[in-house]
Structure 1
Amino acid sequence: MCGAYVPRDEKFHHEPCGIYKSDEAEKAVTLCKECHFDRHHGTKAADVRQKCVEYLHKLYGEAGAKKE
């Protein structure tokens, strides 16, 4: 998201989050702690969400970030 290094053991973000989250690769994005916080609580949450969705769609097509 921001270009910061993210350690391999950092927990990934589920996109979509909430009741639709799962551990499937096409629904997972690794974010630094600041971007992860912004995704859930920041004023940029909608922008971060959109970038996550676009990234997952680019990698996995319509299956990326798909709600079940």
Structure 2
Amino acid sequence: MSIILLAIGLVLVIEGLVYALAPSLVEQLLEAFKEMPESSRRMMGLIAVALGVLLVWVAKYLGA
């Protein structure tokens, strides 16, 4: 359970930094996502989930 809380906390920190430091870049990225086909956005989401799971597994394996 502590790993899940750690992961959620880290996501919130990173998301918050992006919005705080580069809000106009976020708007540009959202506009670019609107132009992408739904299948591409879905594939990017699945890749992000897989990468996240892999990183959590590696962190757990290393003793986090």
Q: Shorter-chain TM-score: which interval?
A: 0.3 to 0.5
Larger RCO, structures 1/2 (Cα 8 Å, 6+ apart):
2
User: Over alpha carbons, which structure has the higher Rg?
Assistant: 2
TM-score normalised to structure 1 length: 0.32
More helix by share: 2
